[in-house]
Amino acid sequence: MSISKFKEEATESLLEKELITIDQFEQVKAYRNLNLFSLHTELKLFLYASVILFTTGIGILIYQNIDSIGHIAILAFLLLVIVICFYFCFKNSIGFKKQQTQFENPIFDYLILAAVLLSCIFVGYLQFQYAIFGTHYGLATVIPTAIAFFCAYYFDNKSILSIAITGLAAYIGLSVSPQSLLQNEFNDNNTLSYSAISLGISLVIWTIYSEKNDLKKHFNLVFLTFALHIISIACINNLSDSYWGIFILLLAGSCYYFYRTSYLIKSVSLFVFTLIYAYIGLNIFLFKLLEFSNINSELFIPLFFLVPFYFIGSIIYFIRLVKQFNKKTNHDSI
| SS3 track for 174-241 | CCCCHHHHHCCHHHHCHHHHHHHHHHHHHHHHHHHHHHHHCCCHHHHHHHHHHHHHHHHHHHHHHHHC
CA 297 distance to own-chain centroid: 44
Q: Are 124 and 167 in contact (CB under 8 A)?
A: no
- pLDDT score recorded for residue 334: 40
pLDDT tens for 50-109 read: 877 878 887 777 777 666 677 788 888 889 999 999 999 999 998 899 998 888 888 888
Ranges of residues in the chain whose predicted pLDDT is under 70: 1-7, 34-42, 65-68, 175-190, 294-301, 331-334
Q: Within 10 Å of residue 141's Cβ, how many Cβ atoms?
A: 20
CA 114 distance to own-chain centroid: 19
Give the separation between CA 192 and CA 173, rounded to whole angstroms: 7
Cβ neighbours for 85, distance < 8 A, ≥ 6 positions apart: 111, 112, 114, 115, 118
- pLDDT score recorded for residue 1: 47
- pLDDT score recorded for residue 20: 76
Contacts of 82-85 with C-beta under 8 Å, sequence gap 24+, read 82/115, 82/118, 82/119, 82/122, 85/111, 85/112, 85/114, 85/115, 85/118
Q: Are 167 and 119 in contact (CB under 8 A)?
A: no
Q: Which of 125, 119, 166 is nearest to 144 (CA)?
A: 119
Cβ neighbours for 330, distance < 8 A, ≥ 6 positions apart: 6, 10
Give the separation between CA 177 and CA 225, rounded to whole angstroms: 15
- pLDDT score recorded for residue 283: 92
Cβ neighbours for 115, distance < 8 A, ≥ 6 positions apart: 82, 85, 86, 89, 151
Q: Are 160 and 172 in contact (CB under 8 A)?
A: no
- pLDDT score recorded for residue 216: 94
